[in-house]
Each structure stands twice: as C-alpha cells, then as structure tokens.
Structure 1
Amino acid sequence: MKILALVALLACGAFAAGGPQCQAPNGGGLQPILEEFISMSPIQKILELLFTSMTSDPETQAVMEYLSSFEFHQILIMFQNRPEFKSLLDFACNDLYIDVAYYFNVLAFIFGFPEARAHPRVIARGGGFHGLLREILDLIPLDDLKALWDEKLATDCCVQLTFKKMNSDEFRSIVNALKGNDAYIDMNEHLRGLGVDVDLIIDTINRIFH
C-alpha cells in the first residue's frame, strides 16, 4: 500500500520553494527520516550507475524514453487531475507530513539530466533496467535504513502517528481508489512491459517500513 505514496512522486508539480514543506509540528515525522535516508545512501555512485546505463543500455534507454514521452506525460496529467490523487497529496502533507511534490522534482531533475546521453567518456554497460535496479539496490544500506525507521517509530510521536494514519481506513480508501484508476493501471502495465521490476521495488520498500 505504501508504494502508492511513491507512485504519487511521478505525478506532482513544481519545486516547493525553500525545500520540502509539510513539516511535522515537532520537527520530527517522515521528512527528517527521508533526509537521513538520503544522507546514508551513496548518491554519487547511484547517479554514476544511472547515467552510465542511460547512455549505453538499450533497455534502460527505452524506459527513460517512455518516462519522457508525450504518452507518459498524458497519463500523468490524467492521474494528477483525479480527485483521489489530490486527496492523497492533501493527506500526505497534512497527516503524514511529507512533501511528495518536492521529492518528485528532485527525481525529475536527475532523470532528465540533459548532458548524460552525450558524455564522451562513459563506459558502456548492459544488463537492462532490471540489472541497473539491482545494482542500485545493492548500494543502498537497506538494513541500516530499516534500523533507522524502527528507531524513529519507537521514539518519535509524529512517526508513530504517521504510521497509524498510513494504516487507517481513510488512507486505505484513498490508495485503493488510485489503484483502480485506469491511468495508474496503464502506467504500471507499460513499465512492467519495459522490464521495470515493479514487484522488486514494492518488496524493497516493504522491507524497510514493515
């Protein structure tokens, strides 16, 4: 269920001014956990893998071309205009204290890096998008992230409240409505057809947050 909050990252608007908004009242909650997650991960190595794959691996190039295509853009617009999606954004900001729009645009900037395809010294790699995903996940300290999440869940009242709300009937209803949306289903099926291991992504996220 929690993967839908991350899918929302693929359909949001412009950069939030001055960094992420939607802060928890006590300065805790999910926002600082995400910042710690990022600081614990080898971002530079991940970007090097991503850029190399974008310039040399046909399967990864096909995925990136789809993500930047008019077809995908139209799906995002349809998804973004759904009232269920807007409910998810409001719930994420006001109840979960996470600014999904800001983080989407960080990812969009990375994935849309214009010089990556023209880098003259990049070393070709194969393995497809699934291989790239596996290499990236191998670089991320998942056990450490899981331990950090468990620590915050035990000590931070805002994280405890957030976890409770993420398992509430209200949030489950919003997520189920989005899962049944035609735009989301089409996007999911197309990504699977391009070799994106959606199940691996979901399983990895569940490994941290369960």
Structure 2
Amino acid sequence: MASRKETDTKDRILEVVLDLIAERGFHDAPISEIAKRAGTGPGLIYHYFPSKEYLIHQVYLRVRTIKRQALTEGYSTELSTEEAYTQQWIQAYHFYKKHTREARFLEQYENSPYCVAVPDLKSADYDDNLLYFMSSFRPKKAGGVLADLPPEALHAMSFGLALKLAKSKDFHKPAMLKRIAAASWRALTTE
C-alpha cells in the first residue's frame, strides 16, 4: 500500500501534467518541465510512471472518473431514456463549463494517438442500471435508440455540442439548456 507521501507526490505530478497539457499540449509537456513544476526529479516521475504515455493515460483515467461522476450524478432508473439523456447532456455542459482544464485535456486526448491505447470501459466501472442506460445510447442497428449515423456524428451532435456551447463566454440559462438538449435528442433519434 502506498504511503501518504507517495500518494501526495503522485497526485501532485498528475495535477501538474493536467495543467501543463491543458496549457501547452502533449508535445510541449516534457518530463523535465513536469518535474520542475512538481518540485521533483525526472527519476522519481519514472519511478511512479514507467513512461510519459502511461503518465498521460493515468491523467486521462482520473479526468474520465471526474467526468463520469459529474454526468451520472442523480441518475435514476425512474427516468425515461430521453429524460436521462437530457439530464446527462445538461450535466456535461456544466462539467465542461466548470472544468475547463479537464475539458481541454479531454479534447486533446481524444484527438491524439494516445487515445488509441485506451482500453474499452469495463462493466465493473458501472452498476447494472447505468450499464442498461448506456446500452440504449447506441445506433438502432446495434440495439439502441440513436439514429444509424457514424459515431463521430453522434458525438458531435450530443456531447460535442455541449462542449462547444460551454466554451463560449455566454452562460446559458436552464430553460435554454433544456431546449438545446431536447433538440439534440430529436436530432440523434430521428431517422
């Protein structure tokens, strides 16, 4: 089991990596700069994280957990699929609006070669009710409720839209967010 000091050091390194990549991107985040900002040496970083790719993946796992918690807060099996989508879409908007560095990191990560190495989410990451809910958010031909469109289009029309709106300087009111989420739902489920 890791000591408190070791855990604190790892956490500090992960936070520095998140900040640095959000500020400068993957290629302008050398281990030497990470070590300098974390107040440690490169050797200690490599002691905890065997490679830069592994370190970046660990940051991704941390950010993914934060995002998942934000999006699934308040989820209930009592919600219809459309209601659950609307709730998650609005929560995604608020996540992106509040967690700007995490959003910048995710956007870069998901468009980088690092993303290819990410394993699929395991069912152990979710409870059975949430797995059922998530399974409906697939194209109809795969047993879901969404239009049979490329995954990139489905993402752009859903959470990609939430991200785009969250990046604007405007803060959209709850009623407008519900209207946008409803329009997104109709676009995603209409053939």
TM-score, structure 2 as length reference: 0.28
Greater relative CO, 1 or 2 (CA 8 Å, sep 6+) = 1
For the pair shown, the structure with the greater C-alpha radius of gyration is: 2
TM-score, structure 1 as length reference: 0.26
